[in-house]
Structures are given as C-alpha cells and as structure tokens.
Amino acid sequence: MARTLPTPAAPAQDQTRGVMAIPAFRKLWRSMAFSSLGDWLGLLATTAMAQQLSSGNYAKANFAIAGVFIARLLPSVFLGPLAGVIADRFDRRRLMVVTDILRSAFYISIPIVGNYFWLYAATIGVECLTLFWSPAKEASVPNLVPKDKLESANQVSLLAAYGTAPIAAALFSLLALISGSLAGLVPFFATNSVDLALYINAASFAYGAWTVWGLHEIPKGSASKSQGDVGVAKSLLEGWRFVSTSKIVRGLIVGMVGAFIAAGAVIGLARTFVGDLGAGDAAYGVLFGSVFTGLAAGIAFGPKIFSQFSRRRLFGASLTIAGLFLVILAAIPNLVIAVFTTVLLGGFSGTCWVTGFTMLGMEVQDEVRGRTFAFMQSLIRVTLVAVLAISPLIAAAVGQHTFKFQNSQVSYNGASITILIAGIIAAIIGSVSYHQMKDRPNVSLWSDVANALKGELGSITGATTKGLFIAFEGGEGSGKSTQTKLLKKWLEDQEHGVVLSREPGGTPLGNDLRDILLSHRTGAISPRAEALLYAADRAHHVFSVIRPALDAGDIVITDRYFDSSIAYQGAGRVLEPGEVARISRWATESLFPTLTIILDLPADIGLSRLKKFDRLESEPLAFHERIRQEYLQIALLDPERYLVVDGQMSVEDIHASIISRVADLPALSKVPKKEKVKRRPHPLQAIAKSKARVQSVTRVKKK
C-alpha cells in the first residue's frame, strides 16, 4: 500500500513563556540576569575608575583602561579549559554559591583599596571565579528544563547574558547623574558614583548566591563530564586546518574578525573618546549602551529587515557599512551624533555577526563544525584581547592634537584617530569579503537594493528544511523528464530517499488543473488568470508534497517550479516577471530550490522533438524564444543557485554534468542516508493503483 505523505505540521509556538513558567529555571534565570547586569555595570565602573586614577594624564588613562580589558579577558584565553576541568569535580550548587560570594567580596574591595594594583588583581580574580561558575551553570540548566525546551532555555539565557548590557549602561548613566543629589543626603556620594556602581554590582552577585542556595532542584554532584573544551592554541591549529580548505569559510572568519575589530575599538576607547568630547561618566554609559543596543537590534531584526538579500552579500555589505560608520564616528566630534552613529554601527555589526554564524552553520560540514566553531571562538578571544589592549595603547601614543584653520580650530585626539584607523580596516575587510563571496557577480548592489524595496528580489531566505530541493527547468522538448528520472536513480543508488514530482500535476488537484491549463478544449485563458492557476497548483504542491518530503529529510526533484511561471507567464505572455515572481513567492512561502537545473535548447530544436502539441506547446516560435532568453537571464542573475546545461549534448553527457554539480552541493552531505530506500510511489501512482484494485475487485464480483 502506498505511503501517504504527512501534511505539514503547524508552526511551532514560542516556547519562551513555557520555559519561564518552570519555577526552578525562573529562579536561576533571575540570578543570571542580575549577575549579568552587575557584571556589565562592573565593567563600566572599573574602566571609569581606571580613567579617574590617571589624574588627568591622557596617556596614563589609555594605558589604565587597556589594563582593565586585558585583566578581564586573559583568564578566559589561557585558563578557561583548565578551570572547566576543575569545576567538573565540585558540587554545582555549592560552587556557584561560593563563587558568587567571592565575586561580591572582590567588587566591594575595589573601591575600598582604590589603587591600580588591586583594581587589576581583583578583576583577574573575578574573571577566574567566573570561569568556574559558568560550566556549573551550563551543566545545571539541562536538569531544570525538559529536553524539548532546552533550546528556548538557552535563548533566554543568552538574553540574560547580553540583553542586560544596555540596561547596565543606562543605570550607570543614571548613577552618574543622581550622585550629586545623593550627596545632599550622604556626602560620601558627592564624587563616588563609580564606587556606588561597584557596590551595586557586588549586591547583584550576593543576590545570585542567595537565589542559587535556595535552588535545591540542582542535583548534587559534579558538573558536565564533557571534555569538549580545548586550549586556544590547539583550537587555532586544528581549526585552521579545516578552515584553510574553504574560500567561503575563510572569508567568513576574516569578516567576523573585522566586525570584532570595529566593535572592540568602540568599546575599548569609549571612555577616552567621551572624555575627549568633554563629557563624563553619564555620557560614557550612554555611548557604551548604544553599542550593545545597536548590536542587539542588528542580531534580532537585521536578518528580517534584509531578508530578501543573499546572506553572502549581506555579510560583506553590513561589515563594510559598519566600518564606514566607525569612520564617521571618528570624524564628527559631537556627542549626540556619536550616539546615533554608534547605534547604527552596532546594528550593522550585529547583522554581520548573526549572518556570519548562520552561514558558518550552513557551509561547514557537520563532522568538522565543532572544531570550526572552536577555532572561531578562540580567534575572537585573541582578537578582542588584541583590539581592546592595542587600541588604547595606540591612542595613548598618538596623544592630543589641535589643528588650526584660520579662525577656527579642531581637536583630534588619539582615541578618534585610532577609531578612524579601525574603521578603515573594518571597511577594507568587509569590501574584500563582499567581493569574494557575492553570489550575483553580474548584478550591482544598488540594483538589489532597489529590487528589494519593491519586493522583487528573488533571493534565498525561505524557511530551512532537512532535505534537499532540486528543480528542473527548460523549454519544450529539452529532456527534463528523462534527466529527472536519471538523477532520481543516481541519488537512490547513493542511499538517499527521493520524491519525484512535477508541475502542474504533482497532486490530484494539480492533475485537474493540468487538464484545464494544457488542454485545447479550455481555449484562450487570460494571462493573469493563467498565472494565478499555476500559482494555485504550486501552493498546493508545496503544501501537500514538497514541504512534507523535505521535512522528512528526503530529496525532492520537481519537473518545473516557479521559474516556469516567470518565464512562461512573465516573458512568454509579456506580463511583468517581477509580479509573477512575487505571486509564486507568496504561494510557496518563499520556498526556493537549493539548485535549479536549466536544460538550455534552441526553441526550434526542442519543438521539433515533440510528436503532439498541447495548448502551450502550440504557441508561436517567438513565444518559446522569449521563454528561453528569460531562463538564461534568470540564471545569470543568481549563478550560485542555477546550473545551465547544454540540452544539445547527449543524454549521458547531460546526466554527467548534472550529477557532478549535485555531488558538490554542501546540503547533500547533510541529507540523511537510508539503509534501504523504498521507492516511494508518487501520490498519483498511489491513486491509480487504488483505482486499479477497485476495478479488479469489481470484475471478480461480476464474474
């Protein structure tokens, strides 16, 4: 009996509320949120304190701030794996409580001692304790939530870790503003808003310790036994071995490093830059918060806003734009403009960051993905240490300069010049990355922008699927049916599950529509009505056949898809191709084939192969020539997603060209193989067999 393809499941609902409804996890998350808020507040306070201790010396202030960042990052670079191994040997709950108490004590001691040595020593101590706390927390989360909600738990955990940065910046600015008012009640706060911030930070860790102590749901015993962490040097060496073999992955990683150069320069020089503009701690908090506000906005909304763009194009373009905003930030010495520029800078950096990580997951094979990401994270740590340490040093070396022009003068100090250099470097890296990875080499970026604003850019960002989707296109008589069957057999020989279908007629409804669209009995059909009928067939085809098969991890091969509508009803019927494409994208919910194979053949040769002609095949030769030219134009605009094969070659040569391209698809390696592939009947075949059985039984009864 034929296997019935399942209908698509309803979209998964947001699981965040369900996760937060778990009392134990909610308490742990609250602890993480307060600790992260305090940690960001502590970063702002310690850098501000380093600047205060410099007593107005510009070079000394930059060196001091660089020292704070180095003290925060060095422990994770060199001691992270070792701390994780040691943390595995202790009880999780007690370890988290003890480390939070000690971190609270360190932050209380910093303003009390009040010198450079203890500022750096306490900072290093806090970071070392965090390296013990983090693996215990990560190992505890899976014990507090069901497996099906673990992904949502990780998402809200990241929100607690990074979403609190803008809140901390706002709180720091507020403390700087109200410290004068507090001085009327408590004279201690007259000039000690930084100290107050450090005390609040200490209180947040104390609250975390108290909360975790009451979490008896965390089981006793050691943390995760996984030994997945490796040293930075080993990660760099092993990761580079795999990265060096792929031009695209190399471009991605270099570009992501460029993004961190841009963001790191702003973070490392923010306090000095604000001081150069004549502002204080409140403005520092605002500028610091604007970086992370923009970064969060870029991560959350960038892929949606630019959803019509190719990820490869978006990655390089967003990094280049971020670099240009960094140049603007350095060139315009105005605090208000600097804040708005920093938000935009952070937004494009966040878009670049999330796009790069998405592409890494798509481009890197599963068996080496872990090592590649370990390499990426290690390289980011090293890059951040270098940028956060070197940028203040360069600023200190450049010093303060005033340029006079007739009756006016402009001051450009070391911080601005260093940010300018970082912006130029980021823009150059982004430009190189863009030109290396752009997947539409014959189409300008401005053309893509204009088409995207009109909703006509046929790019790439539909919903992800488990399977592989291949479409065959071409004019009449080009041999699509033969080649789809040969490719199906080759893939099944590779132990893949394959579903072969066609348009129109891939479903019972589609078969009825096929009769209407192609039969001479129908007569003339309005071009717009014809386009809508094809879109209706396609919508049902995707819903009932293509999407379920892809979700099941199968490979879907279809004889014609929506490029046929663009060519036939667009160019052939002389409708606007962009309008036809927009209808098909809506009908299919932007489900694009991974690869579209176009069998190119002169229209007169293809028509000469036909023995009888349906309604479309009977159209004049000029109609079919317009279709051929439209296919070639479509393929030219997006060569990464199309393969044009000369249809005049032999059947064997065409097949060899097709399997050569299909075998190189990265997505093919992700499609699960099946030990015994059962040749799945097409839905129409199943219906035909069912009717045959009914007729056979009827004949037997009559006898």
Is the previous residue joined to 504 through a cis bond, with omega within 30 degrees of 0? yes
Contact 501, 558 (CB under 8 A): yes
| Chain mean position to CA 184 | 50
Q: Residue 401 — pLDDT band, cuts 50, 70, 90? A: low
Over residues 292-302, the mean pLDDT reads 76
Q: For 434-460, write each residue's pLDDT tens digit.
A: 777 665 555 566 666 666 655 554 444
Tokens of residue 345, six digits: 């800078």
| Chain mean position to CA 553 | 22
Distance CA 52, CA 56 (A): 7
Higher pLDDT, 677 or 45: 45
Distance CA 587, CA 659 (A): 30
Contact 599, 645 (CB under 8 A): yes
- The DSSP secondary structure of 531-546, one letter per residue, reads HHHHHHHHHHHIIIII
pLDDT at residue 420, as a whole number = 84
Distance CA 205, CA 195 (A): 16
Distance CA 622, CA 627 (A): 9
Over residues 9-33, the mean pLDDT reads 67
Q: What is the DSSP letter of 79?
A: T
Q: What is the DSSP letter of 147?
A: G
Contacts of 185 by beta carbon, 8 Å cutoff, 6+ apart: none
Residue carrying the six token digits 């006793």: 220
Contacts of 348 by beta carbon, 8 Å cutoff, 6+ apart: 294, 298, 302, 318, 319, 321, 322, 325
Quick one: 696 exposed, middle or buried, by C-beta within 10 A (0-12, 13-18, 19+)?
exposed
Phi, psi at residue 596, to the nearest 5°?
-115, 125
**Number of DSSP helices (H) and strands (E) in the chain, helices first:** 28, 7
Quick one: 304 exposed, middle or buried, by C-beta within 10 A (0-12, 13-18, 19+)?
exposed
pLDDT at residue 444, as a whole number = 61
Q: For 305-360, write each residue's pLDDT tens digit.
A: 776 666 777 788 888 888 888 888 888 777 788 888 888 888 888 788 777 766 76
Spans of all domains in the chain = 19-229, 232-461, 468-692
Residue 472 scores a pLDDT above 90: yes
Over residues 64-83, the mean pLDDT reads 69
Residue 483 scores a pLDDT above 60: yes
Helix (H, G, I), strand (E, B) or coil at 620: coil
Torsion of CA 141, 142, 144, 150, to 10 degrees: 90
Q: Tell me: domain 468-692, CATH 3.40.50.300, correct?
A: yes
Counting Cα atoms < 13 Å in the Cβ hemisphere of 213 gives: 11
pLDDT at residue 274, as a whole number = 76
pLDDT at residue 674, as a whole number = 67
Contacts of 529 by beta carbon, 8 Å cutoff, 6+ apart: none
Distance CA 67, CA 526 (A): 73
Q: Provide the 10 A C-beta neighbour count for residue 168.
A: 27
Over residues 369-382, the mean pLDDT reads 61
Contact 156, 29 (CB under 8 A): yes
Beta bridge partners of 599: 474, 645
Q: Which fold has domain 19-229?
A: Growth Hormone; Chain: A; (1.20.1250)
Contact 572, 626 (CB under 8 A): yes
Distance CA 647, CA 667 (A): 26
Instruction: Please say whether the dihedral angle defined by the alpha carbons of residues 623, 628, 633 and 634, taken in this order, is positive or negative.
Output: positive
Q: What is the DSSP letter of 495?
A: T
Computed over every residue of the chain, the mean pLDDT equals: 75
Written as one letter, the residue type at 244 is S
Counting Cα atoms < 13 Å in the Cβ hemisphere of 654 gives: 24
Q: Do domains 19-229 and 468-692 have the same CATH topology?
A: no
Counting Cα atoms < 13 Å in the Cβ hemisphere of 232 gives: 16
Q: For 673-699, write each residue's pLDDT tens digit.
A: 765 444 455 444 454 445 445 444 444
- Do the strands 498-502 and 642-646 form a parallel or antiparallel pair, or are they unpaired? unpaired
Beta bridge partners of 597: 472, 643
Distance CA 582, CA 379 (A): 42
Written as one letter, the residue type at 324 is L
Beta bridge partners of 513: none
Q: For 506-521, write each residue's pLDDT tens digit.
A: 888 888 888 888 888 8
Q: For 171-190, write each residue's pLDDT tens digit.
A: 877 777 776 566 556 555 54
Distance CA 165, CA 44 (A): 10
Q: Residue 488 — pLDDT band, cuts 50, 70, 90? A: very high
Contacts of 669 by beta carbon, 8 Å cutoff, 6+ apart: 365, 366
Q: Which among 572, 617, 599 has a CA at the least distance from the CA of 654?
A: 599
Tokens of residue 504, six digits: 């129109």
Helix (H, G, I), strand (E, B) or coil at 501: strand
Written as one letter, the residue type at 177 is L
Residue 367 scores a pLDDT above 80: no
Helix (H, G, I), strand (E, B) or coil at 22: coil
Residue carrying the six token digits 């702003």: 266
pLDDT at residue 684, as a whole number = 46
Question: How far is the first Cα of the chain from the last one, in angstroms, to the nearest whole number?
Answer: 26
Q: Provide the 10 A C-beta neighbour count for residue 555.
A: 25
- Do the strands 555-559 and 595-600 form a parallel or antiparallel pair, or are they unpaired? unpaired
Q: Provide the 10 A C-beta neighbour count for residue 475.
A: 26
Over residues 643-652, the mean pLDDT reads 92
Cα–Cα separations (whole angstroms), residue 567 to 39, 43, 645: 58, 58, 17
Residue 583 scores a pLDDT above 80: yes
Domain 232-461, second-level architecture = Up-down Bundle (1.20)
Q: Which among 172, 173, 192, 170 has a CA at the least distance from the CA of 182?
A: 192
Residue 139 scores a pLDDT above 60: yes
Strands (E) in 616-703, as ranges, are 642-646
* Longest CA span, the chain: 114
